[in-house]
């Protein structure tokens, strides 16, 4: 077990590619590297919330690999989003069981975007489910979430990799996991792909200005995995493991 310095994970947005975060956490556990705090955006917020709530990473992995898409998709193409979002919310409620930020075993910040003010919102208190729903609500796909007096959408719109947010939680060593750093040609098969790829391009331009100021940057090679190809969860997780192992030497040097 590595001791001495607080390690924080900044988990990026990235839809199906974000399942690579599971692989990174698996390697940390196998190598005895503790995770003292987490900040997550979009898919990173979901994975971070599940893990910080005490769900074992093997359980999260099993869910990601085996979950039928029909369990969480409810296409409606009406109102404020193409999906109603109730199936997603019901699934997250089932997993998080009414927990709040105060119930977590690992401190967590969830990042969302205020649709009215155009500002990044850092959620660190209250119930977990609405915070996670806000962070994963891709504009046009899932309806905005009214939470803590704000109209919130996907955290990846303005903050793909929440590095400063995890540093604010007290991390001495910040490990950023970025699954959306490279924009490459990708297949556009559906409405979700159009919206998600558009957000990825926009957030990448924003991140060019901000840069990822992490102590360790892990970039799983998931460019061949489409944003909606959740059936490739196993491949995404494996790429997360590979990338994490490549970063171990640098990380251990910092610790």
- Residues taking part in catalysis: 42, 154
Is 160 within 8 Å of 45 (Cβ atoms)? no
Count CA atoms within 13 Å of residue 178 on its CB side.
25
Determine the Cα–Cα distance for residues 12 and 179; give it in Å rounded to an integer.
7
What residue spans of 97-232 are helical by DSSP H?
128-136, 163-167, 191-210
Polymer length in residues for the chain: 255
Residue 254, token pair as written in the block? 């910092």
For the beta carbon of residue 96, count every other beta carbon within 10 angstroms: 21
Instruction: Please give the C-alpha separations between residue 180 and each of 76, 107, 147, 154, in angstroms, as whole numbers.
Output: 28, 24, 27, 14
Instruction: Name which of 100, 103, 106, 146 is nearest 126 in CA terms.
Output: 100
Count CA atoms within 13 Å of residue 179 on its CB side.
35
């Amino acid at each position: 077990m590595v001791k001495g310095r607080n390690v924080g994970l900044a988990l990026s947005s990235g839809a199906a590619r974000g399942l690579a975060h599971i692989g990174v956490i698996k390697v940390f556990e196998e190598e005895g590297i503790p995770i003292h705090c987490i900040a997550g955006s979009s898919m990173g917020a979901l994975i971070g919330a599940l893990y910080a709530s005490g769900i074992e990473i093997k359980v999260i992995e099993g869910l990601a690999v085996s979950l039928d898409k029909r369990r969480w998709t409810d296409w409606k193409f009406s109102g404020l989003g193409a999906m109603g979002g109730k199936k997603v919310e019901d699934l997250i409620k089932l997993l998080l069981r009414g927990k709040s930020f105060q119930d977590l075993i690992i401190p967590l910040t969830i990042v969302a975007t205020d649709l009215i003010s155009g500002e990044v919102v850092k959620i660190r208190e209250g119930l977990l489910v609405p915070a996670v729903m806000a962070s994963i609500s891709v504009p046009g796909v899932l309806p905005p979430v009214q939470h803590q007096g704000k109209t919130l959408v996907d955290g990846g719109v303005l903050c793909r990799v929440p590095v400063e947010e995890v540093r604010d939680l007290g991390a001495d060593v910040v490990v950023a996991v970025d699954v959306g750093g490279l924009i490459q040609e990708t297949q556009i098969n559906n409405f979700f792909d159009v919206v998600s790829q558009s957000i990825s391009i926009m957030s990448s331009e924003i991140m060019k200005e901000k840069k990822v100021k992490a102590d360790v940057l892990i970039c799983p090679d998931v460019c061949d995995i489409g944003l909606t190809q959740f059936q490739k969860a196993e491949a995404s997780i494996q790429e997360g493991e590979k990338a994490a192992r490549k970063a171990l030497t640098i990380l251990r040097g910092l610790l």
